[in-house]
Amino acid sequence: MSLMAGLYLHIPFCHSKCTYCSFITGGYEDLLAERYLNSLILEIKALSNRLSNKERQIDTIYFGGGTPSIIAPSWITKLLEHCYQYFSIAPNSEITIEVNPADINLDHLQSYQKIGINRVSVGIQSFIDKQLKEIGRDHSASQASQAVKKLRQAGFNNISLDLIAGLPNQSLEEWQYNLSEAISLEPEHLSIYLLEIKAGTTLSAQIKSGRLAMPDEDLAAEMYETLVDTLTTNGYLHYEISNFAKQRNNSLLYSRHNTKYWLDIPYYGLGVSAHSYHNQERYFNVQSTNTYISNINSTGQAMAEKIALNTEERVREALMLRLRLIKGVNLLEFQESYQFDVMANYQDSFKEMIENNLLEIKDGYLRLTRKGILYSNEVFQLFV
């Protein structure tokens, strides 16, 4: 596992806001986008100037959002060129872009290929038009399938699909259909999320008003069980609570960028509301696009808050994030890295969870059981 840092670039523009989305996004406007993207370039330069040569070594770049595919490929090219100019980008780095099926055309995809993007994450969420409309997605099920086919035509061989389980009124049969459709497209990676109802979203308001029913927790758990069984039977390795990957040439096609989040590896978030982790500190940028632009242009920074983690906080956070990985926590390596004996310090709490079949120790790893994954939020309360 590489210890080099990752770069995340946030593109906060969307055609429309999904009902479940709590991210900082807004509608696309040419003038605002140009101002924002030029500010993003300034932040790339300014960040580089604050880092040492070693800290500027990067092996993953991730264009997220929002909808990065909403902006012209020429802007993606310009942003990537500045990343290469101001950072030391390792050969064979993973460079990912999130795309919306409604935006995809072959010319754009071929442009991505030419500039070195080698991984694409497609926000599909469902293959059922009724569900897509209900959650505010602006693409159809047909466009979702066609998007993957166009990606193959353009030459991409590392494709990830996003799906959501537990949508309002979603049946188990509909969920099984979504899984079947996804598998038929043979993506290398799948990210599957159980729907979260977050305060302030349109979906939260719809549920509070009674327009939609709260998703059934028992049904969501059954969907998750179905998910794990179905994908593992079809050749996907379950490597993180929400993530599954295929192998190629004995190499797992996991998300190298996202894995940094779970393994206490530095990453630099650029753009409005973007989060970073570096030198045992977490910090994030302001949550207003116009304020971000103003701050970057005047000072080169747009940080809203910085949180320095003490030793105890870092240990607790590292434990919680590593337990998201299916293989769990290597207890000996963890003790050597953090000078912290996990079992000695959490003996009573872990004993009860092991007895309740939420945690297990196997081959020197502490990990969630299959039942523990379903109740992972309860396990993680130990570290909050």
User: How much is the pLDDT for 1?
Assistant: 61
pTM for the whole thing? 0.93
CATH number attached to the domain at 5-261 = 3.20.20.70
Rg (CA), the chain: 21
Q: How confident is the model at residue 103 (pLDDT cuts 50, 70, 90)?
A: confident
What is the residue whose two structure tokens read 């630099």?
268
Q: How confident is the model at residue 242 (pLDDT cuts 50, 70, 90)?
A: very high
Domain boundaries, the chain: 5-261, 311-383
| Domains 5-261 and 311-383 in one fold | no
Residues 6+ apart with CB under 8 A from 211: none
What is the residue whose two structure tokens read 């100019």?
85
Q: How confident is the model at residue 134 (pLDDT cuts 50, 70, 90)?
A: confident
Taking the CA atoms of 80, 102, 236 and 374 in sequence, report the sign of the dihedral they define. Answer: positive
Distance, CA of 263 to CA of 282 (rounded, Å) = 14
* 90-103 average pLDDT score: 94
Burial level of 352, CB count in 10 A (0-12/13-18/19+)? exposed
Which two structure tokens, joined as six digits, stand for 247?
Answer: 């192998």
Contact 271, 285 (CB under 8 A): yes
Q: Over the stretch 305-347, which tens digit does the pLDDT of each residue have?
A: 999 999 999 999 999 999 999 999 999 999 999 999 999 999 8
User: How much is the pLDDT for 329?
Assistant: 97
What is the residue whose two structure tokens read 């007895």?
355
Cα→Cα distances 352→28, 327, 356, 369, 379, Å: 51, 20, 6, 14, 11
What is the residue whose two structure tokens read 């003996």?
347
User: How much is the pLDDT for 341?
Assistant: 95
* SS3 state of residue 99: strand
Q: How confident is the model at residue 212 (pLDDT cuts 50, 70, 90)?
A: low
User: How much is the pLDDT for 133?
Assistant: 84
Is the pLDDT at 90 greater than 70? The verdict is yes
Q: How confident is the model at residue 194 (pLDDT cuts 50, 70, 90)?
A: confident
Distance, CA of 240 to CA of 220 (rounded, Å) = 18
User: How much is the pLDDT for 288?
Assistant: 94
Q: How confident is the model at residue 217 (pLDDT cuts 50, 70, 90)?
A: confident
Beta strands in 127-280 (DSSP E): 159-165, 189-194, 237-240, 243-245, 247-248, 251-252, 267-270, 275-278
Query: Where is pLDDT greater, at 131 or 376?
Result: 376
Which two structure tokens, joined as six digits, stand for 343?
Answer: 């079992």
Q: Over the stretch 248-303, which tens digit does the pLDDT of each residue have?
A: 999 999 999 999 999 999 999 999 999 999 999 999 999 999 999 999 999 999 99
Q: How confident is the model at residue 42 (pLDDT cuts 50, 70, 90)?
A: very high
Q: How confident is the model at residue 237 (pLDDT cuts 50, 70, 90)?
A: very high
> What letter does residue 358 receive in the DSSP assignment?
S
User: How much is the pLDDT for 221?
Assistant: 87
Arithmetic mean of pLDDT over the chain: 91
Least confident of 130-134, 186-190, 203-207: 203-207
Q: Residue 331: which H helix or E strand, with range?
A: helix 331-338
The topology under which CATH files domain 311-383 is Arc Repressor Mutant, subunit A (1.10.10)
Is the pLDDT at 67 greater than 80? The verdict is yes
User: How much is the pLDDT for 24?
Assistant: 56
State the DSSP string of 2-43: ---EEEEEEE-EESS--TT--SS-EE--HHHHHHHHHHHHHH
Contact 191, 147 (CB under 8 A): no
* 221-234 average pLDDT score: 95
Degrees to nearest 5, angle at CA 360 with 313 and 351? 70
User: How much is the pLDDT for 195?
Assistant: 74
* 200-224 average pLDDT score: 69
Alpha carbon 67 to its chain's center: 13
Is the pLDDT at 22 greater than 70? The verdict is no
Q: Residue 52: which H helix or E strand, with range?
A: none
* SS3 state of residue 361: strand
